[in-house]
Amino acid sequence: MSNNYLDIIRPGINTTFQDKGRDHLYHIGIPFSGAMDNRNYLIANKLVNNNLDSAVIEFAYQGPHIKYSGEKINCAITGDVIFSIKKKDTEIEGKCYESYQIENGDEINIISTNKSVYGYLALGVEFDLKFQWNSCSINTKANIGSNDGKRLDAGQRINLKKINSNKDIKKTNYINTKIENIRVIKGTNFDYFSEEGKKIFYEKEFIVSKLSDRMGMRLEGPKIDNIVNTNIKSEGLIKGVIQVPADGNPIIMLSDHGTIGGYPKIGVVASVDYDRLVQMSPGSKIKFKEINLSDAETLFKLYEMETQNLLSQI
């Protein structure tokens, strides 16, 4: 057995292992999963000299408190996160987007995300995890992935298989930009809604509800009136789809979404805004802004170039 391991003192609210997720499984009912905020996931891995598709620990709101035992390793946290690192005689306030070296007996205490939802803890190691369909991503709904598909729990020990030999300390200056306008492409049932409903969708503010998780984000606001049918024949969904059920409150499908749904689709969030969308915490205001397909494609290309550029500078 490995002599390097983590003990979970406090698990946090929704702490899971995530990686790039799994594909080619929608037809059997299994969604992508994977890190919610892909850009912060990639940066976290780069900061500790990992392969970019390595497993990280994702947390939401309150993060885990972890004690490390073993030889020296690097760690880094990305997102907008308040945390501390406790060493033998000192406790330092941690900074995101910087890697730290931790050694036997050190503790990482992730207190909370700041006006955002998800944060990422990467360690310069290979965790000893079970993979299902080439991914260790935990889908707590279907109990798929590492840790028997369950979120991390207090008292648990996580073994590390391998430790990176490259222990270079890295740092980058990245600031998570917040946006209020989420760009959307018209959905396949856009015409199911009244003229007034369509106007409300693009012009009014919606509030992110507390009933939001890795599966979906529920919104509250003025009701969007359906004039055709509040149900459609069930069909496939993808992440970012905005469904409006009979009660008129939109639900946005997120990474662990059900693969099939029967509510009309008013819009789909443009891929360029997905990472920022998932970071909007309950109570945040959202406004939707329509863009066309070709603009969405161009904007995503630019976003992707920016991500690659950020990674190459680390």
Partner 1 sequence: MIKNISNLGDAALYCDFGNEVNKSINSQVIKYFKTIKEKKFEGINNLTPSYNKLIISYDLKKTNFKEVKNYVENINAQDSKDINSKKLEIPVCCHENFSMDIKRLGEILKLSREKILENFLNKEYFCYMTGFIAGMPFLGDLDENMRAQRLETPRVKVPKGSVALTEQFANIYTFESPGGWNILGNTPLDVFDSSKEDKPNLINPGDTVIFKEITLDQYKNYNEQ
d(CA 280, CA 294) in angstroms, rounded, equals 26
Q: Which stretch binds partner 1 (CB under 8 A): 25-33, 40-48, 75-83, 199-207?
A: 25-33
32 versus 118: smaller Cβ distance to partner 1: 32
80 versus 256: smaller Cβ distance to partner 1: 256
Length of the chain: 314
- What b/e string do you get for 145-161 counting C-beta neighbours within 10 Å, with b at 16 or more? bbbebebbeeeeebebe
Tell me whether strands 118-123 and 56-60 are parallel, antiparallel or unpaired.
antiparallel
d(CA 153, CA 273) in angstroms, rounded, equals 32
Amino acid, single-letter form, for residue 189:
N
69 and 75 in contact (C-beta within 8 Å)? no
87 versus 141: smaller Cβ distance to partner 1: 141
Q: Which stretch binds partner 1 (CB under 8 A): 57-65, 118-126, 203-211, 295-303?
A: 295-303
| Residue of 9, 163, 185, 207 interacting with partner 1 (CB under 8 A) | 185
| Residue of 55, 96, 108, 241 interacting with partner 1 (CB under 8 A) | 241
Cα–Cα distances (Å) from 125 to 116, 166, 269, in that order, read 27, 10, 34
Q: Structure tokens of 244?
A: 């409006």
Q: Which stretch binds partner 1 (CB under 8 A): 7-15, 159-167, 191-199, 237-245?
A: 237-245
- CB of residue 297 to partner 1, shortest distance in Å: 6
217 versus 270: smaller Cβ distance to partner 1: 270
| Site string (142-171) toward partner 1, x via CB under 8 A | xxx----x----------------------
179 contacts partner 1 (rule: CB under 8 A):
no
- Cβ-Cβ contacts under 8 Å for 14 (sequence gap 6 or more): 59, 60, 61, 140, 151, 213, 214
- Binding stretches for partner 1 (CB under 8 A): 23-30, 32, 132-133, 141-144, 149, 185, 187-188, 233-238, 240-241, 258-261, 265, 268-271, 293, 296-297, 300, 304
